[in-house]
Amino acid sequence: MSVKLNTRQVGDVSVVDVSGRITLGEGSSALRDALRDMVSKNQKKILLNLGDVSYIDSSGIGELVSGFTTVTNSGGQLKLLNLTKRVKDLLQITKLYTVFDVHEDEAGAIRSFA
């Protein structure tokens, strides 16, 4: 299964439910396009729910980082929600875990944008 992205609005926070594989090709470019689209629409508060991401490779990690930079540089915030053990391990190995603001509870994550 490739990646699926569903975006919903909770107050002024855009929550993107991501599922499937974020790997080089369709998966990573879909995520990149979605984030760029949100930035172009001036959406400043973005929460990526990665709870159903089954696989991520270095290209996918690169897209998370690039997305974080794009959103931050536009004056917005990008946060992560519900990391699977695999994604969490990869972010820790690559020393990126502390770069992102990571949450395990959606309501708390939404409140943290205020």
Span of 10-18, 35-43, 61-69, 105-113 interacting with another protein by CB under 8 A: 61-69
Annotate 5-16 with three-state secondary structure.
EEEEEECCEEEE
Contact with another protein (CB under 8 A) among 30, 63, 102, 110: 63
Q: Pairing state of beta strands 13-22 and 4-10? A: antiparallel
- CB nearer to another protein: give 97 or 113: 97
- CB nearer to another protein: give 63 or 81: 63
At which residue do the structure tokens 């172009």 appear? 40
Query: Is position 66 an interface residue for another protein (rule: CB under 8 A)?
Result: yes
Give the C-alpha separation, 99 to 32, whole Å: 18
Let me know: does 81 contact 47? Beta carbons within 8 Å: yes
Span of 1-9, 18-26, 38-46, 103-111 interacting with another protein by CB under 8 A: 18-26
Q: Which helix (H) or strand (E) holds 40?
A: helix 26-40
Query: Is position 92 an interface residue for another protein (rule: CB under 8 A)?
Result: no
For the beta carbon of residue 55, count every other beta carbon within 10 angstroms.
15
Total of chain residues touching another protein, rule CB under 8 A: 20
Q: Which residues bind another protein (CB under 8 A)?
A: 23-25, 57-59, 61-63, 65-66, 68-69, 86, 90, 93-96, 99
